[in-house]
A and B are shown apart, each in its own frame.
Chain A
Amino acid sequence: MAKAGGGITNAVNVGIAVQADWENREFISHISLNVRRLFEFLVQFESTTKSKLASLNEKLDLLERGLEMLEVQVSTATANPSLFAT
């Protein structure tokens, strides 16, 4: 009886261990999946952020060029006050 009871208990224990393992695996997979989602989010965030920064930089480039032209014109105009002498 004892052997039989011992065998049964071992089987139950193994089953419990396997079930626990499955649960552990599920937990780990969930964590891993979420980590992947975090990666994806990070990558997407980086891309969108960099694209927006790039567009912003382009606008800043245009502004800088226009501003540089303005500066040159203003400097030229200030350097030649005779142009405005009526």
Chain B
Amino acid sequence: MSLSRLGVRNVYGTSQQAEFYGNVDREDPEAILNGVAVSGLIGVLRQLGDLAESAAEIFQGIQEEVMATASRSNQLKMRLQHIEATVPPLEKGVLAQTTHLHFAYTGGVEWHPRIPHEQNHFIHDDLPNSFMDHYEECRDPPRLHMLDKFDINGPGSCLKRYSDPTYFRRASSSLVKGNNKFQNNNMSCKIKKKKSSSRSRDMSRLASMANQNARKTLTSFSFSGQTSSSKSASTSDMEKRSDLQDHHSHSYDCHSTATSSLKTGEKPKGGLVSSSLTPGSCTIASVLSECETEDEHDNLQFTPLQGHAAVGSSCVSWDEKAEIVEEPLGVQTDEASVVDRLDEKVSYGEGTGRVDIENSESGLQQSNGIDEVREIKAGSEIVREPRDSSEHETESEGECFVDALNSIESESENEQGLKTSLEAVSSPCGVTGEMLEKSSNKVEESCRSMDNGYLNATDEMNHQDPLESITISPSPRNDVCTTSNISSGEDKIGFTVVPAPENSLSDSSNPLCHSDHQKSEAKVSGEVEAIKIWTNGGLLGLNPSKPPVLEVPSPDCKAEERTVGSAEAEKDKSHDLVEHVLDTPSLGTQNLTVDQRECHETSSYGVFGGLSQKLFTNSFRRRDSLSHDNRQALPATIPENDEVMEEKSRFLFREEAPIDWFASSPPLQHMKISLNPVDNTLQASRLKLKFSDEDNNSNNTFPSFQLLPEAATSLLDSCSDDDTFCMTSDIDYLSDYHSLSDSEQWEEPNDSHERKEHDSCTHVDNNGEPSSLDTEAENGCVALNFSYLQSPVEPLPPPFPPAQWMVSKLAAETTSDKKITQSLELQDALRFAFEKHTSSSIVNKEEPNTVASAPKPETKVHVKNNVREDKQNANEKETDADDFLQQIRTQHVNLKPVVMTRTLSTAAAATTDPAINIKISAMLEKANSIRQAVASNDGDESDTWSDT
């Protein structure tokens, strides 16, 4: 095969040229030479002719392509002109746009080009000449159409059969399938041989006829259709099968096949019906119709044998077990079995089987009694034989109609073999009734085992995640029961025939199931209770907290405590974390030394850890210089410089903080708080907040209420327009300008901690013993807050407060100066009242765990923390929401209104001691309502409140 497109032949290469000098006289050399010269010239002319021809072709092709290109270019030109005509107005519109941003949000053009790929070198129908020459040189196929008159399929069938290009492909695939079928059929044929040995009588004549017909169909099939290859592949197999099944072709087969095959609606049988239109099937039908009378007689003869073999269940042979394996053909096709039964009743009017549709239907409805079961047993023993016959019938039909049904039948046999093998395994005896019972028992046992297994699984699930198992556990069990019912409804023989044992078993199994289930539920409920303890209120994906186990603190935790007087209350509880120390009454103050310990592994950390953290962080916030005399050293574990320690030592409580001892511990991993960043920030800020006129006064009652926001603002403006800023105006702030930013920096988290602390206090006040969930929720919030604090604090100072706020402060400076004296008076009065409370509480300080001593610290802490109370009341709903970010947003409240309320409360406290709390609470509520109204009106609370 030459791929050269054009070959230039030799000048003298043509055979015709020899004519010019071949026929010349040999004795005349000139003539010969002239002939050779003429032939050369002719060759040249031929080459020139070829050249002209090829040049013409070439130029023609080039011209065509150039014309096509020119036409395309012209089209492009036209289109371009059209676009040029349409673009200018659009361009004007685009240029007229002021902003082009909206073009970015407009939907683009959903357009996809359809690029044809026509320039293929080998696939395109424009084959090269060298290839086309071979096609042209091919001969035509043989004139097979002349054989069409001998073929059934009509004209064109023979030509397609012998010149079908897909023949070899299908033949190769069918050979592979044929080998598999042959192996499967050998297995079935061995079984059939054994089965046929006891039955072969005078069936040889019918068998030979059937075989004859089958071979006729084979021959007819070999001529018909496109599947000649598959047929040829399976011909040998089917011949063997047909020879074997000659012995199985009962008369009853011929009788019942027509009905059952038509009514079952199975595909193989449908195929038989359709194939019965072929001549071969017609002959079979005729043969079968001839033999109906003999078939009845044969069935009458065979039935007792089968019944005898079925009754003698103890002496079941392997042959009958093999038959059992083949039974499910009738078992699965329920409709077919019903039809068989009907046929049986019709043909055998004596009613030996006693099996009717009602029984089967009653079996379907699961309302049968034991009598019916027995009846069905007896019936099934008799019915079994027609089922066998129906099997053989279908098999014989399958063998008659060889090729089309071979694969389907083999597949159906395989499926049936699989299904019946399960039943045969479940029932060692070959008796059908016992099989049914045992299969049903098996099903029930399996159901029960599934229940038990499921319960075990649920128990396991309960161990893993009890809440989920509670919700899930009932439903699958019901599903199992329902599935058993459904399956019993579907499998009419294996499941519904034996209702009584099933019921008994179900009754027996149900209590077990219920008992197990109840046990599991009990376990689950117990675990649910445990879970209630373990839950942390679903706080922002935190793990459930450990149950509150108040352990005795380890001595190593105690070792690091350095306090003036170790209180007795901390010994019973987690005193390794927080110590509340009462000073002598002469001092008039109670120093609370917060011992920060990082006992993260102990579960006794609990609320104490959180509260200690909160209190400790509150100490940072309350940077007022009170009595320098009462300073106490902080624990050595906290690396701090002296200034920070001083500020921490100023954190003074008049008495014990009301701590919820019964609260469950929050997750410890969230309670790990390192105070180093806090210290660093404090060191960086170097805040020294002092009262200018109260440095000498060691009995300052509420030093902790000298708040930071005022420290932030007081550098620029000493006083605001409110009374709240009287104190701040008196304060001589030694801090530098960084105190502004630092105060704001600490505003939000400290505020949240204060609020949390007060939440716990209010729980104790209201309920005495708060619920675990609430405390856990609080602790979770606390943990979150602390985790928020755990974030590395930026060393750089935070940004300055807004200038608008400062301007508002400056404007309010003049008005606040007038109220300084009033605030000082109120402060003194409140201090006096508070000292009176502390003196009364020191008496009961020896028993801090008792209930009697509990309200006093609560009230006093309430008095101390009344500044925070308004914020807490304002944010109670938000704490319930457990949204940390929301809390931070809502807690971003300026403390100026708080101070105002505080000063007002101190003024109220100065009047009368018993009426202090009442008045303070009333005023706090009023202030809280005002502040909420202001906060709701405007997001910038500080400005609005200070201005108002």
Contacts and interface: CB of A to CB of B under 8 A. Distances in A.
Contact of B33 (A18, A42, A60): A18
Interface string A43-86: 10110011001001100100111011111111011100101101
B37 A17 contact: no
A17 B62 contact: no
A53 B66 contact: yes
A12 interface: no
Determine which residue in A20, A42, A78 has the highest number of CB atoms from chain B within 10 A of its CB, and name it: A42
Contacts of B51: 35, 38-39, 42
Interface in B91-118: 93-94, 96-98, 102-103, 106, 109, 111, 113, 115
Interface residues of A, number: 44
Contacts of A77: 90, 93
Contacts, number: 122
B526 interface: no
A54 to B, nearest CB: 8
B47 A74 contact: no
Interface string B1-24: 000011010110000000000000
B37 A71 contact: no
Interface residues of B, number: 50
A67 B79 contact: yes
A36 B113 CA distance: 46
Given A53-B69, A77-B90, A65 B115 contact: yes
Contacts of B96: 84, 86
Interface in A1-51: 13-14, 17-18, 20-21, 24-25, 28-29, 31-32, 35-36, 38-39, 42-43, 45-46, 49-50
Nearest to B12: A28
Contacts of B102: 83
A50 B10 CA distance: 28
A20 B111 CA distance: 77
Contact of A32 (B47, B58, B62, B76): B47
A51 to B, nearest CB: 11
A28 B37 contact: yes
A39 B54 CA distance: 8
Contacts of B103: 83
Contacts of B11: 28-29, 32
Contacts of A76: 109
Nearest to B85: A74
Contacts of A71: 79, 82-83
Contacts of A86: 96-98
A50 B109 contact: no
A72 B86 contact: no
Given A67-B76, A74-B90, A84-B97, A28 B8 contact: no
Nearest to B31: A17
Contacts of A35: 8, 44, 47-48, 51
Nearest to A70: B83
A39 B8 contact: yes
Contact of B93 (A20, A21, A63, A81): A81
Given A32-B44, A38-B51, A53-B62, A84 B90 contact: yes
B43 interface: yes
B90 A78 contact: yes
Interface string B58-96: 100110011011001101100110110011001001101
A36 B69 contact: no
Nearest to A41: B55
B142 interface: no
A50 B638 CA distance: 89
9 contacts: A13-B30, A32-B47, A35-B44, A43-B6, A53-B65, A53-B69, A60-B69, A60-B72, A76-B109
Interface of B: 5-6, 8, 10-11, 29-30, 33, 36-37, 40-41, 43-44, 47-48, 50-51, 54-55, 58, 61-62, 65-66, 68-69, 72-73, 75-76, 79-80, 82-83, 86-87, 90, 93-94, 96-98, 102-103, 106, 109, 111, 113, 115
Interface of A: 13-14, 17-18, 20-21, 24-25, 28-29, 31-32, 35-36, 38-39, 42-43, 45-46, 49-50, 53, 56-57, 60, 63-65, 67-74, 76-78, 81, 83-84, 86
Given A20-B37, A25-B40, A35-B47, 19 more contacts: A14-B30, A17-B33, A21-B33, A24-B33, A28-B43, A31-B47, A35-B48, A36-B47, A38-B55, A39-B6, A46-B58, A50-B61, A64-B75, A64-B76, A68-B113, A78-B90, A81-B93, A83-B93, A84-B93
The 5 A-B residue pairs whose C-beta atoms are closest, nearest first, are: A84-B93, A28-B40, A24-B37, A21-B33, A35-B47
